[in-house]
Structure 1
């Protein structure tokens, strides 16, 4: 396991043409790979973030144009890739799914979004993922040569139990492909990333699509990386860009020794029990 490595968050523009999105992602991955050991794509990067379109764009893992291209890029560039999230057809249902791929091009695991984004803020935004998506049911923590990585997707970050369970399972870096909007983003995006890092004393890397004011769903942007003390190491703006951050794993035991939050939990009074 590395003590020190670099992550790249590709805050990319998303268009309606899946093939163009894939080609664009490959270009960004190639650029980022010259610097980074791990490249992260945003939520729903190969299609517009629109519930009615998810069935049209959905792919099976075994026969996926998108995953085949990203696996090839991981192998070519000799890097790990968290392929943001894409609509996945699995056992007759459609999921919002994030695949982590190693430098050999192998899929290590998949996180299927556990908490579906069904909200209604009167006069602001109404969105219902459950119209076309099914919720996943696993906590996703993956061993890699870089570190132990947890993955959650967008709305998942709002549920503290999920990130705490990932931390208890040894996650050192939690990756969040997410597409907060112009209502929830300014209010909650940065505070949630910081408080999840602080609560669990882990690194957080949250990656959004670039903002497109002409899209049916307008993403907030502001992809960012936080350290285990809650410091923001890097933050993007609203447009397309790649940001890079150094992950120094030695910070985790240092901060946990200075401020032993996980050790000081009162498990005689309360416990979080994950699904076996």
Structure 2
């Protein structure tokens, strides 16, 4: 298809009284997006960590074990919500054991792995297909405090709107990863994020826009917002402005912004990703960095660095 109407969320960390309130709030956002014509909705990194606010503060190990215990319910809930509403759902990221398979819907074929937990994004489709991507680059905090293992594979997958990839938060700050996705045909990168401060948000935001320019593709960013009344070690305060971004070139706006939300508001942002316009950009833009790259030179420079020259 030549156009995707996508909703991306600024998910509010409000105080909730029950798990039912959490799941109902998610369902309401999905139904609202569907009513507005969205064909896909993107929730942020650590969306299900909101459930930790219902418990006394936990250690990181206990928090991971608790969230992993919700995985079957999480997948069932979002799968049913996707099917009932006819909308693809990137269900944020969810902490689960590493032994759940990466992508292609083959969750039942997971192989036991003793390395603990991963921060994994799941994209569920109305036909029951599930694509998954573990966060590859863990932040220093995730490395120090969370019992998480980094992902070690990049899943670029087909959809009715073309090929896509999921780069979670810190992953978008590494240009090599987005370039690898683009070289494998990705035209859209989905970026669920959780940033605690304006500093963190702007790092992710500016890198998201840079990846769109470098690779002449779309990047869709979602984020947590707000502050819980009671502090939690894992997730309790957040800063974000969700948006959808294109190359800063013809035929898109000079700043490459397709749509952005109001900073730190609990809200949803809708944007149209027009893939015919993206092809126009790649064929007729003022610059074409995706095609003008010089891989032979880059390999030579990398070899020189490795050899110490």
Same fold (TM over 0.5): yes
What TM-score, normalized by structure 2, do the two folds share?
A: 0.78
Provide the residue aligned with 1:39 in structure 2: 41
Counterpart of 1:30 in structure 2 is 31
The structure with the greater share of residues assigned to helix is 2
Kindly name which structure, 1 or 2, has the bigger radius of gyration based on alpha carbons: 2
Structure 2 counterpart of 1:114, from 133, 136, 159: 136
Return the offset for 1:239: 1.8
CA RMSD in angstroms comes to 2.4
In structure 2, C-alpha distance between the alignment counterparts of 1:142 and 1:112, rounded to whole Å: 14
Relative to 1, partners in 2 of residues 1:10 and 1:129: Cα closer, same or farther, differing over 3 Å?
farther
Tell me if the contact between 2:169 and 2:194 (Cα under 8 Å) persists in the aligned partners: yes
Q: After superposition, give the CA deviation of every residue in 1:138-176 in whole Å (9 maximum; x if it has no partner).
A: 112110112211101111111111111011111111000
- What is the rounded CA distance, in whole Å, between the counterparts of 2:69 and 2:155 in structure 1? 21
Q: Which runs of 5+ in 1 are unaligned?
A: 120-126
Aligned to 1:123: none
The 3-state SS of whatever aligns with 2:41 is strand
Task: After superposing the two structures, state which structure 1 stretch, 197-206 or 211-220, moved more.
Answer: 211-220
Separation in 2 of the partners of 1:130 and 1:145? 39
Contact 2:92 2:192 in 1 (8 A): yes
Q: Does 1:266 align with 2:294?
A: yes
CA contact (8 A) 2:173 2:204 kept: no
8 Å Cα contact 2:172/2:204 also seen in 1: no
Shift of 1:59: 4.1
Residue number among 238, 242, 245 corresponding to 1:219 in the alignment: 238
The number of aligned residues is 262
From 25, 33, 54, give the equivalent of 2:64. 54
The change in CA–CA distance for 1:198 and 1:220 in structure 2 (over 3 A counts) is same
Contact 1:228 1:251 in 2 (8 A): no
Q: Is 1:207 aligned to 2:222, yes or no?
A: yes
Report the CA distance shift for 1:118/1:226 in structure 2 as closer, same or farther (over 3 A): same
Equivalences for residues 121-200 of structure 1 within 5 A: 128=143, 131-185=146-200, 187-200=202-215
Matched with 1:235 is 260
What does residue 118 of structure 2 align with? 95
Shift of 1:18: 4.7
Classify the secondary structure of the residue corresponding to 2:212: helix
Alpha-carbon distance change, 110 to 18 in structure 1, aligned in 2, over 3 angstroms: farther
Distance 1:271 1:40 in 2: 36
Whether the 8 Å CA contact 1:225–1:233 is kept in 2: the answer is: yes
